[in-house]
Chains A and B, each alone.
Chain A
């Protein structure tokens, strides 16, 4: 009898080139995604050592972290950003790497555009110099973020030296309540498990909640795996996955596609396979979530109060946010709302927001930025008439990019201001020096923009 294997085991084991005695394994990487911020030093390293890029056709590049979200047809004003983007273009040209640069119809956030183009497929190994590479695990791929030295390793050899992580399974079963979105599911999981519970592990999400989720919802969940410390998150590929991949630009076509599907169907975790750690939650316990602190684990149900904790780091967090232990966030005035980032900038996120906003107006005190994850999402927003809804309500639809998720471009939240954000991190100063981030779903973000303050969305829904 063959050993029972997890999804993660199956994909990992089929990519091991060799194992060093008492050491790491050489893992083969199928797809390498790159962007302007974490690649220049890797290209320099290779050039300095005289090593050519080994498999340029397995690399896809995009410009996203630095890109402006206004006037993308104009030269970039910030000299350092401009230089970084120019360097990416030069490096890609020199090394025959496909680049979707600013303005290209496929340009976008790396974790939005790659799945959209069918680059992301089940059973692959994928890496990128960005921790949210875990997003692609939604397809049943092993996908994880790497440092720049590792970007150089993959350039040089299409491989990485790695020790196999341990396995973790988080199961969520039952029926989600109205208004509970995939973002709430993952924020809930992280609030229960903490920000380092996944460190050293690859996480599989299982249960009917994920089986019934759309691909975009699965991407939101897997995207935030890194926020509980896990290198990656995965969801078993199924018909939803195959349907999504089918027909996309880089997806296998015709017979090839059918053959791949037959293989992809063998990937799900075998019944009885062992995980190093398991957690399970009831879907009924999950409600719309918000964060109150400075890491994504500091989240509560929107109707709950901030907990009381004597830990010094906890108190430092609350002091930064200017919140009190034990208080509710309901009715807190909010002046900034950001719907975007690789977590929640896909078409479904904008549909949810538009559906809520339709016929309403943004509160006067609020600046509301909507930043699509890619040019294709932007086009879809316009095509589906969502832009009209946003315009009429006073929301500002900007051009695609990472934007105010990490504020490397001009989209910064001012010092001391709160921003209800659909992004993935509420770290100190993440959205601009001194800014205060409250993470939430696109629905909660839209409601905040309309009300000008945090409201208990569950009351509106029931």
Chain B
């Protein structure tokens, strides 16, 4: 897993609530057996019309916007457990997703893949959308160590919460498998005295 400490970038505003994992990566693209290449189909049915032509109305196709931060509406990532959604978002080039609420499994999947979910207040999210839409060159800064997200050249800033263990993992690029495999003896001991 890639390490993450700090990021300064422009952002893409996806102002839609309840974005589900079927929109992030439709089921028909889940047939691959490796983790790579899902980025080309991220938000596939919003990015392209059924005939394959580009939907110029969709924000990811708007040349005004760029950057490695996706700012999304409330309850992002609901629905399926498919980790392909996190793979698709990272493969497309995003390193941070900001929303006022994340679905549990998506949040876990993101953290396990070095994609930082930054949960902010509804008010701050609304300010972010306003800022980015009025000035698409708006730069955001996300600092994982300090747990802050701020809009450059403004006084807009907020702290965000993250599980202390997951924070350490992100900063150091660790993952859970290393930890668990190193605790095998303890797991075997648990198995030997299971009480249920």
Contacts and interface: CB of A to CB of B under 8 A. Distances in A.
B28 A407 contact: yes
Interface in B154-173: 163-165
Nearest to A124: B196
Contacts of A209: none
Contacts of A163: 163
A342 to B, nearest CB: 12
Given A156-B177, A433-B50, A26 B22 contact: no
Given A156-B181, A199-B103, A408 B31 contact: yes
B81 interface: yes
Given A195-B78, A433-B45, A14 B177 contact: no
A209 to B, nearest CB: 26
B105 A22 contact: no
A427 B75 contact: no
Contacts of B18: 195-196, 295, 313
Interface string B18-37: 10101100111011111100
B163 A428 contact: no
A interface secondary structure, majority: loop
Contact of A428 (B22, B50, B109): B22
A434 interface: yes
Given A22-B164, A131-B80, A195-B75, A147 B101 contact: no
A11 B31 CA distance: 35
Given A18-B186, A20-B165, A26-B186, A149 B109 contact: yes
B194 to A, nearest CB: 8
Contacts of B35: 41
A334 interface: no
Given A150-B112, A199-B104, A433-B50, A229 B184 contact: no
B180 A149 contact: no
A149 B178 CA distance: 12
A87 B190 contact: no
B62 interface: no
Interface residues of B, number: 56
Given A158-B187, A263-B196, A433-B45, A149 B175 contact: yes
A263 to B, nearest CB: 7
Contact of A157 (B81, B105, B180): B180
A49 B190 CA distance: 25
A38 B23 contact: no
A87 B33 contact: yes
A196 B196 CA distance: 32
Contacts of A22: 164-165
A229 B196 CA distance: 29
Given A129-B81, A156-B177, A427-B22, A196 B75 contact: yes
Contact of B81 (A54, A83, A131): A131
A429 B22 contact: yes
A51 B177 CA distance: 10
Contacts of A318: none
Contacts of B117: none
B20 A295 contact: yes
A133 B113 CA distance: 22
Contact of A130 (B15, B81, B175, B194): B81
A23 B164 contact: yes
B34 A41 contact: yes
A408 B30 contact: yes
Given A129-B81, A161-B180, A316-B16, A28 B31 contact: no
Given A26-B187, A196-B101, A312-B15, A84 B176 contact: no
Given A133-B81, A145-B80, A147-B82, 19 more contacts: A37-B30, A40-B33, A44-B33, A45-B177, A129-B81, A147-B86, A147-B109, A147-B112, A149-B112, A153-B180, A156-B181, A159-B187, A161-B179, A226-B79, A408-B28, A425-B79, A433-B28, A433-B45, A434-B50
27 contacts: A14-B196, A18-B183, A40-B34, A41-B34, A41-B83, A44-B33, A65-B27, A78-B31, A80-B31, A83-B31, A84-B33, A149-B83, A159-B180, A160-B176, A196-B103, A199-B102, A199-B103, A229-B103, A231-B105, A263-B196, A295-B18, A406-B80, A415-B50, A428-B23, A428-B45, A429-B45, A433-B26
